[in-house]
Amino acid sequence: MRRRAFAAAAIVAAAIAVSGCSAAASPTPPPDATSILTSAGKATYPTKLEMTFGGSVTSGSTTTNLPDKLLVIDVDTAAGAGAVHLAVPTALLGSDAAPQLAALGVTGDTLSLDVLFDGKALYAKSPLLPALMSQLSLLGGASDLPTLSADTWAMLLDEATLKEIMSSASTAVESAAPSASISPDAMKAQLDQAGVTLTVGAQTTGAGGPANDVKLSIDPAKLKAYMEAHSDQFPSGTAQQLASLDTLTSLSADALVDVATSRIEQVSVTGAATASGSAVSFTFKMSIADAPAGTSFSAPSGAVDVPIVKILGPLLSGMFSGGLPGSSTAP
């Protein structure tokens, strides 16, 4: 159910992005939703940002509250660097998960994952990493992997391998990008066809002061019909998202946009669905703010080189006609 909820949240985020990137006339008081999101798409943001994700899921009479910083993403757009921190309380995984996690080396009350890109190489750290590397080495036939601990930073991809991967992916990214923006009227008509309605709620107070509340209401059935009729406008693998829409009974979102700066400060996604005959509701919240002072994107000291591509290469070579970048073991 959480996977379906996150898929629904991704759909709403895409609708906000499309609206924010569309051209619009100069806003006139009171501003409409399209002009607010258009200004947000053109707003200037700090080079160092932090995005935090949290929320809650209710099934029947039981509500599970997710930490406000379940997922934290920090980026430095000027340096082309970023960091991801995932911290899942083990209590959310149920009592049956404790023995299984202990067998994998996770004994604390939080299952964590840290990923860092310093602009050159990709690093990761997690209590699960040693067990994962051990399993991958067995499957891939590697026998000379370094020993890792729960606190060890592993360098998974070096600069040369990343350049190869990014070069291979650039064509796909360019083909997926929209060729041109559409007019406000055309955009509104397209959103209407997709079952997306934009309105502006009462002005509220955000983290930076007065903020406009842009509301999105989505008709899941209408959205599914639109996606099926315009499959060429969506990336491959949309079938899973369409299956998720079958269970949704409602889906909406609120985007708080700072009046003074036009920056999006928060996006909240709320939905309801049916799962195995039971009603389920969820709320996910993303907040955007300046990265905290002292946030570092420097390469971690003492990182261990783990040739992940060479490990996975033998396992995945059958899926790629040319093999994986950097996976060749030829001298």
Q: Show contacts of 26-32: CB within 8 Å, 24+ apart.
A: 30/200, 31/200, 31/212, 32/198, 32/200
Question: What pLDDT score was predicted for residue 164?
Answer: 73
pLDDT tens readout for residues 276-328: 778 889 999 999 999 999 999 999 998 988 877 766 665 555 444 444 455 44
Residue 311 has a pLDDT of 67
Max avg pLDDT among 162-176, 178-192, 268-282? 268-282
Q: Which residues pair with 53 in a beta bridge?
A: 71, 286
The one-letter code for the residue type at 319 is M
Q: What is the mean pLDDT of residues 160-180?
A: 58
74 vs 274, residue with greater confidence: 74
Measured CA distances, 249 to 4, 62, 116 (Å): 13, 19, 38
What mean pLDDT value characterizes the chain? Answer: 78
Number of Cβ within a 10 Å radius of residue 133:
22
Q: What is the pLDDT of residue 291?
A: 95
pLDDT for 157 equals 86
Query: Where is pLDDT greater, at 146 or 144?
Result: 146
CA distance 108 to 91: 10
283 DSSP assignment: E
Angle at 111 between CA 107 and CA 116, to 5 degrees: 125
Residue 223 near residue 196, CB atoms below 8 Å: yes
Across 31-35, 201-205, 209-213, 268-272, least confident range: 31-35
pLDDT at residue number 24: 46
Q: What percent of the chain has a predicted confidence (pLDDT) above 90?
A: 34
pTM listed for this prediction: 0.76
More confident residue, 279 or 244: 279
pLDDT given at position 20: 46
Does a cis peptide bond (omega within 30 degrees of 0) precede residue 46? no
The single residue listed with the structure tokens 């999006």 is 264
